[in-house]
Structure 1
Amino acid sequence: MHTKLRTLLAATTALAAMTVAGTAFAETMKIGITQNNVGVDSYQTTYEKAFIKAADANPDVETVVLDAGGDVARQIAQMEDLIQQEVDAIIIWPTNGEAVIPAVRKAYKAGIPVIVTNSNIAEPGFEFVKSFSGPDNITQGSRAAEIMCDKFKAMGIEDKAKIVQISGQPGYTTAIERAKGFEDRLPEVCPKVTLMETQPGDWNREKSQKVMEAFLVKYDHIDGVYAGDDNMGVGALNAAKAAGRDGIIFVGATNFAVGYEAMERGEYWGSIYQSPVDDAEAALQTAVDVLSGKDVPFLNYFDTPKITQDNMKEFSKPVF
């Protein structure tokens, strides 16, 4: 009888241990992320490192980190893969705001909450998304227009200035929204400034340099350039410097280290300050909060202030 009791106690103890282990495993949040294109610029590279670091620092989080390499088809396949792995939540940095909607809908139907990071999906997909974590890109474009207009007013050319725009990747929500914010706000603050032409730079410095080279050939006079991020803006600046076209006002969005350095040299006027570390940490925390049952706003923005040569000393040089 004593032996049977010991056997029963041992079995009960083992079962309790299995239950505790099972509970601990169940409490671990498995979060998958499919990113846009880590290799395309230093912002996305820094974002990925910060995301992995933040996840590693949280013992309750296990991650599956994927990158679409800018390929919509690959991102859709990665969404399928994460759904099959039965992750608890998916974070997506969309390669294309429209094209990924069916994949996001599939995750939604599978009961997996989706958090969109950095660049939102198109509005028809909002019903399948738990939250968007990132910058307010419309506001960024609007603030960039204000930076440029204020500079033109200081120069006394607000009634005659002519500008060009280098936008981001076509179909990419951030590119669309930053352009819209700029184009809507500029006529409100500087109604006589003429936007002569917009061409995409695809977030790529070399391509943006070529786009600017073409603008410089086509237009004898350019007063300002608005670029969807500083990576493209510095490409445009390099083209202007090579062509000996001085005096052009360059304004970007997402202040890169190269943009900050060009501002220090007095070659680049202003931008919008946005931290990829804040971006990554906010996305992960949003996913954790959703899985923890917390009330998370649908549009979970973090602030992105104006930075110009006048106030840049108030900001640390970007790490990307």
Structure 2
Amino acid sequence: MFINNNLKMHVLTASVFMALTTAAHAENSYRIGITQNNVGVDSYQTTYERAFVEAAEAAGNVDIVVLDAGGDVARQIGQMQDLVQQQVDAIIIWPTNGQAVIPAIRQAYNAGIPVVVTNSKIAEAGLDFISAFSGPDNVQQGILSAEMMCDALEGDGQIVQISGQPGYTTAMERAAGFEQRLAEICPGVELMETQPGNWNRERAQRVMEDFLTKYDRIDGVYSGDDNMGVGALNAAKGAGRAEEIIFIGATNFAVGYDAIQRGEYYGSIYQSPVDDAEAALQTALDVLAGEEVAKMNFFETPKITAENLEEFDRPVF
């Protein structure tokens, strides 16, 4: 059963209520709530939600309450409190802000409700209050992107970076991994400036337009995901400068995959929202079943370039 309600108060229909009361104490039957970051911001999160619902339906023993914070920290905190009041068996949270949500996670912890953080990690101060994290290793993704940039530029050049949403853990980790690794292996590549694209293609395009006006020479662009990376590519095309610039991103979107195939985009990091969603649900179920679960659970996210493109399916988002 899928209950989708972004309002603060969650109301069950009479039929659902009866189903829950009859199955409330059924062995291995669980009710799991999820509060997501911002489903409407990009197709990755939209695909994640659909895959999560499908995985729960396939499991057969899970009722879910699906909420979306719309990128609003205060709304997500309210949703966490609502799920605690509903006494769900477990909560999955895709945090809008890795620091600000810690008090709400602690409230769930104190209520005896296990919390699984999905996709984007919370700040270290909150790790004692969660059962597990499930998602990509974003620092490692930044490292891999830096290695691709160094290879593509052969150790020399001037680049700019379009990061994700400020304060968002994924954005900070990818940027940190990229910057640290690039400095280690490619001291001849200068990172001239970083500006946020907020995971939005149009915003990233405007940022890139500003970069192109400001800098006569740009050899490469690193974007925190392909949605922004293609925005940067579009800006460079409009300025007639795309052929002189290497474009590298993360979270390979379909538009990024196609751009790699056309030879316009050098490379990205392959990350499946379906794997992401399924891993989060399975981690929560493992926790509820009393299985031993590692605190940090990462799934594989390899490099993808023209050389190995055929090894990967075109993303569905």
Question: TM-score, normalised on structure 2?
Answer: 0.92
Map 1:60-99 to 2 at 5 A. 60-99=61-100
Letter in 2 for 1:262: A
Matching residue of 1:10: none
Asked if 1:228 corresponds to 2:233, the answer is no
CA distance in 1, matches of 2:281, 2:27: 19
Letter in 1 for 2:259: A
The correspondence for 2:273, drawn from 270, 273, 276, is 276
CA distance in 1, matches of 2:207, 2:55: 37
Asked if 1:247 corresponds to 2:248, the answer is no
Alpha carbon RMSD of aligned pairs, Å?
Answer: 1.2
Alpha-carbon shift at residue 27 of structure 1 (Å): 3.4
Q: Which runs of 5+ in 1 are unaligned?
A: 1-20
CA distance in 2, matches of 1:111, 1:137: 29
CA distance in 2, matches of 1:262, 1:39: 23
Q: Percent identity?
A: 71
The correspondence for 2:202, drawn from 189, 202, 206, is 206
Q: Output one character per residue of 1:95-152: Cα deviation in whole Å (capped at 9) or x when no partner.
A: 0111101100100000000000000011111110110000000000000000111111
Alpha-carbon shift at residue 25 of structure 1 (Å): 3.2
Matching residue of 1:141: 142
The correspondence for 1:190, drawn from 172, 183, 186, is 186
Which protein is bigger by CA-based radius of gyration?
A: 1
Corresponding pairs, count: 296
Q: Output one character per residue of 1:228-273: Cα deviation in whole Å (capped at 9) or x when no partner.
A: 0000000000000000013200000000000001111111000000
Letter in 2 for 1:308: T
Alpha-carbon shift at residue 28 of structure 1 (Å): 1.4
The 3-state SS of whatever aligns with 2:32 is: strand
Matching residue of 1:7: none
Question: TM-score, normalised on structure 1?
Answer: 0.91
Letter in 1 for 2:265: Y
Matching residue of 2:108: 107
- Asked whether the equivalents of residues 28 and 289 of structure 2 are also in contact (C-alpha less than 8 Å), the reply is no
Q: Output one character per residue of 1:271-320: Cα deviation in whole Å (capped at 9) or x when no partner.
A: 00000000000000000000000011011000000001111111110000
The 3-state SS of whatever aligns with 1:267 is: coil
Letter in 2 for 1:123: E
Alpha-carbon shift at residue 22 of structure 1 (Å): 5.9
- Asked whether the equivalents of residues 23 and 29 of structure 2 are also in contact (C-alpha less than 8 Å), the reply is no
Residues 46/127 of structure 1: CA separation in 2 closer, same or farther (3 Å cut): same
